[in-house]
Amino acid sequence: MQTETSRTQTSLQACFQLSSPSPRIFVYCRLTLKRSRGNNEDDMKLTKSFLASSWWCCLIIQTLFCFAAQSSLFATAAAASSSSASNKDDDTIPTFDTSDSQQSASDYANYFSAYADLFHQKIMLTDHHRMTAYYNAIVQNRHVFKDKVVIDVGSGSGILAVWAAKAGARRVYAVEYTDMAKYAREVVRANGLEDVVMVIQGAVEDVTIPEEDWDRFDLQMEDGDVNSEEECHVNQPQSQSKVVDIIISEWMGYFLLRESMLDSVIRARDMFLKPKSGILLPSHATMLIAPIMNAYDHSVIVKEYKEGMVEWNDYLNNLKKQYGVDMSILTEDYDKEQRDYYLKSSHYVQLEDDVILAPPAVVKTLDLAVCTLEDAKGVGETAFSFDIESSEGGEGDDEINGFAGWFTVDFQTRTDEVGKKFGAKMKNPVHFSSSPEIGETHWGQQAFYFPSAIPIQRNSKVKIDGTMEMYRSKENARLYNVKFRYTIAAAVDGSNNLMDPVESVYNIP
């Protein structure tokens, strides 16, 4: 059991592993705040103050570190990004334009760098639900991996590549962009698998199949593929090296798509995977939303926003009184910052199953064998409808606080027409979910809170009809915005509208 001191040390360590935009490690700051709520209010304020201070120190330190390590690139990264904006789509992932070293450096600092830390890897490796799903998908389907060629996209510590080799793969390429690749090599070597697993550091978009592997591992393209094997041995584009039987990757981010790693998996598929028989694991993905009643967390967020504005006004008064400077002209901008953070951003949550007020609605499904880069850009405007009843014997204090979003993935046989005929058969399919009913995962759920709670009267029904849309942020293509449009009626027939139609846009930080 952790002591209070060790909890503080762990929280501090977590904060100093962060980079902006903070990848999944940000969960530890949220969890620390959540756990502190069981203590008194002074303890909670102290914890919040500590985490906030650590967060800002972390950003400053990492910014200075990245500048020192890559000063020649960062000196012009912002200018390069601005000057090239007119020539690029807003939702371009910088790493994919590998000819632009400045964009790549910026993307590394903003996204990849945290994944080079063992502490960050440990968070994912200790997610029991995550680990069990991937382990079972591989080990319980050894017949699929036996004598096959595998690519692990975003290999991290290399554990999926190790499992694939232990399951009988004859060649595994573990592709990792960050310096975590050096640790993956050590893990592979420690497990005696260096003759099977090759760790390649770099973006999967830049990877080529080593020429010597063609003969050593008897690499074969499918009958009827673009070129003969003899032609593919020499000077052929990597897009024609479709000799991989299995692509495995843990690419999912918050609410499935955040971080935009799916793009790399799709590109790897189109470059390397055998089009008829090749499989991807996971093979399918689903995004879901549902209305929630999470009154305490919602009230804390609204309270923090209001307290922040009170503190701002106190600051303005003291500034003018003590130093004779009036900064009230900035109040509107400060309020926007606070609203964007507290009220117009989704929030990481670990929900209990009983806060879900209606069966979830599916807003997007992906078949990894056939989905496109366009599919990875987000969710088109998708309709949903929820019927919500007050709880039995309720005291009339039920309320709707917002929506929650999560995802599921499946490791199963291909379902597209070509794959059903030629693809390997997963005799032991595996299902993974980040839903509240499963328990805690490092993904958690994303909560999209309403500006104010919607009450549910005793023995009544409420109907929510609307649409959800998700698209990449213009400021950072690895992040997403989610737009909800909805109406809320107090009767299932819609005869008593509780409010005018609402449109809310949230960013997923």
Q: Which residues contact 74 (CB under 8 A, 6 or more apart)?
A: 66, 67, 102, 105, 106, 109
What residues are labeled active site? 250, 259
Cα 480 to Cα 483: distance, rounded to the nearest angstrom: 10
Q: Is residue 323 classed exposed, middle or buried when 0-12, 13-18 and 19+ CB atoms within 10 A define those classes?
A: exposed
Concatenated DSSP letters of 443-454 = S-EEEEEEEEEE
The dihedral over CA atoms of 254, 257, 260, 263, expressed in degrees to the nearest 10, equals 140
Integer-rounded Cα Rg, in Å, for the chain is 25
Quote the DSSP letter at residue 22: P
The answer to whether 155 and 184 are in contact (CB under 8 A) is yes
Q: Is residue 265 classed exposed, middle or buried when 0-12, 13-18 and 19+ CB atoms within 10 A define those classes?
A: buried
- Please name which of 220, 224, 275 lies closest in space to residue 247, comparing C-alpha atoms: 275
Q: Which residues contact 416 (CB under 8 A, 6 or more apart)?
A: 367, 369, 370
Cα 493 to Cα 470: distance, rounded to the nearest angstrom: 29
The answer to whether 207 and 175 are in contact (CB under 8 A) is yes
Q: How many CA atoms lie within 13 A of 248 on its CB side?
A: 28
Kind plus residue range of the DSSP H or E element containing 150: strand 149-153
Q: Which residues contact 309 (CB under 8 A, 6 or more apart)?
A: 334, 335, 338
- Please name which of 197, 189, 194, 199 lies closest in space to residue 156, comparing C-alpha atoms: 199
Quote the DSSP letter at residue 497: B
Query: What's the token pair of residue 28?
Result: 């530890």
Q: Which residues contact 198 (CB under 8 A, 6 or more apart)?
A: 171, 172, 173, 174, 210
What is the residue whose two structure tokens read 């689903």?
286
What is the residue whose two structure tokens read 């987000």?
378
Tell me the β-bridge partners of 488.
464
Q: Which residues contact 220 (CB under 8 A, 6 or more apart)?
A: 229, 243
Please report, as a single letter, which amino acid is at residue 446: Q
Quote the DSSP letter at residue 40: -
Cα 112 to Cα 178: distance, rounded to the nearest angstrom: 7
Q: Which residues contact 306 (CB under 8 A, 6 or more apart)?
A: none
Tell me the β-bridge partners of 506.
482
